[in-house]
Amino acid sequence: MEAKAQARYVRVTPQKARRVVNEIRGLNAANAVDVLEFAPQAVARDVRKVVQSAIANARFAADQAGERFDEASLKVLEAFVDEGPTMKRIQPRAQGRANRIMKRTSHITVIVGTKEA
């Protein structure tokens, strides 16, 4: 059984988020939560919430299907970060010029499931 969770429009650059997501890909779901709990990156908190949401979604899907749920058998099957919309801002500079500031966003997706799935 597979379950998916997604966080959209997270205000962090996709490059920074991918560094954290690459660390948990393929791990046991419970171990991934532990790794993210102590990761020093700020985005690790958001990724941890997505993994926990995917675990909860798997639990709910198993209850709906009447299947037995074993959290220990869940693995992070897929985890990826897509680029969201970029907010463009202007910063005034000398002599009437302007610099553009790009405030990037990310869409974080995590799919958990059992090995058989």
> Tens of pLDDT along the chain (117 residues)?
899 999 999 999 999 999 999 999 999 999 999 999 999 999 999 999 999 999 999 999 999 999 999 999 999 999 999 999 999 999 999 999 999 999 999 999 999 999 764
Domain limits of the chain? 2-113
pLDDT (0 to 100) of residue 117? 45
pLDDT (0 to 100) of residue 1? 85
Fold of the domain built from segment(s) 2-113: Ribosomal Protein L22; Chain A (3.90.470)
> How many Å apart are CA 16 and CA 22, to the nearest integer?
10
Amino acid found at 106? S
pLDDT (0 to 100) of residue 116? 65
> How many Å apart are CA 95 and CA 78, to the nearest integer?
49
